[in-house]
Structures are given as C-alpha cells and as structure tokens.
Amino acid sequence: MSSFDQSKAYAAQEEEGAFFDDGREIELLHFVYSHPNIENIRGSPENVLAAIDEYGRTKKYLMNVGEDKGRIVTDLIAEVKPKQMVELGGYVGYSCILFGSAVRKAGGERYFSLERDPAFAAVIMSLVDLAGLSDLVKVIVGSSDESIARLASSGQLKHIDLMFLDHYKPAYTTDLKLCEELGLVTKGSVLAADNVIKPGNPPYLRYVRSSVEEKIKEAGEGGATKLDGIAETNVKMYEKRYGRAKFSESKGNPHLKYESKLVNSYEPTGVPEQSLGVAQLKILLHKA
Ligand SMILES: C[S@@+](CC[C@H](N)C(=O)[O-])C[C@H]1O[C@@H](n2cnc3c(N)ncnc32)[C@H](O)[C@@H]1O
C-alpha cells in the first residue's frame, strides 16, 4: 500500500454522533456554489469532487469514501464495465459523482444512488446536476431495502453488475440477501463493501465467506439479523433521526458462492489506524 499524502487529509472526524447531520451538508452546497472557480466546476465531475475535497480539508470532516479508497473502486469499474451500478448510501454525492463518472467512461447506462435521508439526497441531486451527470445517475430516496424492492418490482433495475455498500453496517448482509433473492445479484455480480475491517462488519464477512452448505443450514434456521462484532456506535448511528432500525428478513440465495479479497487503503483523514481506529481501512471486493 502506498503512503498517504498528508497534504490531502480531511479535517479530523469529530466525536461520535457529531460528525454529520449538523448542517454541514447544506453548508457544503453553499461552499461549492459560491466557489470562486464555480464556472470551471460546472459540468466537471473532477472539479466538483475537488471542491468537495476542499471543503473536507479546510472546513469540516465529511464521511466520504475519499480519493484513496475511491481509486480501488474506479479501477474495479474500469475492469467490470458495469451497465448498471448501485450504491447503498450516497451522503453528499462524493462516491456517486466519482463512480458515476467512471461508469460513464466505461460505457455504463445507469448509476443508482440509494440514500435514506431526503436532505442528503437533495444535496446529492444538486451536486450530480452540477457535475453534468443527471442523465446517468438516479438518486432514490428511502431506506435501502424498500428502494431495492421497489426498483426490482417496477422493472427499473433488473441486474446489479457492481454494487458499492457504504450505508449502515447491519444492513450490508440483509440487503445483500434481498438482492440475491430478487435475482439482482447473480453469478458475475461484483460487490465492493467499505469499512468491513475497521470499524468492522463480522456478520457480513462471515456471510460472503461461508460455504453453500453453511448458508443453506443458516437459511433453514431462520437467519435472524446478526449484529455481533459491529460496534454499538455503528448500530445506533442513525437512531436519533430514524429510531430503531428495521431489516429485510430475506434468506438470500445460499447457492451463490463468493470469492473475496481485502484491499488496504486509507480514510480521507489519513490518520494512522492506532490513533483513531478507523484510519487505515480495508475494502472488501468479491465476486459471486
Ligand atoms: C458513509 S455515508 C455514505 C458515503 C458515500 N458513499 C460517499 O462515499 O460519498 C452513509 C450514508 O448512508 C445513508 N444510510 C444509512 N442507512 C441507510 C439505509 N438503510 N438506506 C439508505 N441509506 C442509508 C446515510 O444517511 C448516509 O448518508
């Protein structure tokens, strides 16, 4: 893994519960639209991303995937050439603009960004429009499981070629199972899941690494949502606004077997792992 360029580090993440949804997402919009370079930002995904990064570096931390981890996924997009790509968790649109632009370059047709928070979704739509990607990107507002089910039943989404999971740790596994059951994730689908090592998502890692036999057995036992090993702060992260989380109870398709690998990278803050515990992150890529 190459070293982190400290000159690009985002502002440090504030205390748990105080690093998002405090008005900074709207402040970001004002920052971008009043930027002295706004005329060069219009229609340029790279310059919109640079302006978002500038806010993250000089104003406040933003929970974006960032440049380093982002490169892992853009390389994957160039390799997989997805026609349809889905992301779970859009926040202010950083990954959506970065990956949507890469999907377009790779000849893709549609990028769905699923975001539950309507205010964040409005920020995504505004910045996606500014970047000139509105024809390719569709932002879907609502809880990921309900949105996935709606997109599938309406026929808007028939297959997921590549999916980026970056929303709510306990829902990685339950949403993946739903996508499997609906036939959206099939052999050949590729998934990239952020934050699976630190802060960590043991139930998800276990699921994608399980054998078919183990998954058939678990599905037969009812397979209740597992939260073990996921940090409590992550489990409760959205409770203040949305209350206790509800999950899809899909049993998935236990016959799918994933190959998986971990890729080292950095959070956009670049803080060493020991200091913050979330700095040197790993991203999991796997193929059904
Ligand atoms: C880490 S942020 C996403 C960052 C974004 N992928 C990026 O790199 O630019 C997680 C986002 O997931 C959203 N989220 C959390 N639970 C969700 C759910 N069940 N369905 C859809 N979105 C959800 C949050 O509102 C938040 O905006």
Residues constituting the chain: 288
Query: Could you write out the DSSP letters of every residue in 96-139?
Result: HHHHHHHHHHTT--EEEEEES-HHHHHHHHHHHHHTT-TTTEEE
Task: Provide the 3-class DSSP secondary structure of residue 255.
Answer: coil
- Rounded CA-CA distance 33/130 in Å is 9
Is 15 within 8 Å of 279 (Cβ atoms)?
no
Q: What number does the ligand 1 atom closest to the CA of 114 have?
A: 21
Q: Whose CA is nearest to atom 2 of ligand 1?
A: 91
Please provide the average confidence, as pLDDT, over all residues in the chain. Answer: 90
Q: Check pLDDT > 60 for residue 272.
A: no
pLDDT of residue 50: 98
Nearest CA to ligand 1 atom 6: 90
Residue 278 predicted with pLDDT over 60: no
Tell me, rounded to whole angstroms, the distance of Cα 221 from its chain centroid: 30
Q: What is the per-residue pLDDT for 119?
A: 98
The residue contributing the CA closest to ligand 1 atom 5 is 90
pLDDT at residue number 276 = 27
Are 89 and 114 within 8 A, CB to CB?
yes
Reported as a single tens digit per residue, the pLDDT across 52-63 is 999 999 999 999
- Residue 164's SS3 state is strand
Of 79-88, 241-250, 255-264, the one with minimum mean pLDDT is: 255-264
pLDDT tens per residue across span 186-230: 988 999 999 887 768 889 989 988 898 999 998 888 767 788 889
**Is the model more confident about 128 or about 265?**
128
Report the pLDDT averaged over residues 166-178.
95
pLDDT at 280: 36
Say if CB 193 and CB 284 are below 8 A apart: yes
CB of 171 closer than 8 Å to CB of 145? yes
11-26: per-residue pLDDT in tens? Answer: 988 877 689 999 999 9
Host H or E run for residue 171: helix 169-181
Sorting pLDDT into bands at 50, 70 and 90, what band is 273? very low
Asked if residue 63 has its Cβ within 6 Å of ligand 1, the reply is yes
d(CA 166, CA 171): 10
Q: Is the CB of 162 under 6 A from ligand 1?
A: no
Q: What DSSP element (H or E) covers 55?
A: helix 45-58
Q: What value of ipTM does the predicted structure carry? A: 1.00
Prediction pTM value = 0.94
Q: What is the mean pLDDT of residues 107-117?
A: 98
pLDDT above 70 for 277: no
List the 110-115 sheet strands across, edge first. 137-141, 110-115, 84-88, 162-165, 190-193, 282-287, 259-264
Q: How far is the CA of 116 from the centre of ligand 1 (A)?
A: 7
> Percent of the chain beyond pLDDT 70?
92
Percentage of the chain exceeding pLDDT 90: 66
Q: How far is the CA of 204 from the centre of ligand 1 (A)?
A: 17
**70 in ligand 1 pocket by Cβ < 6 Å?**
no
130 versus 234: which is more confidently predicted?
A: 130
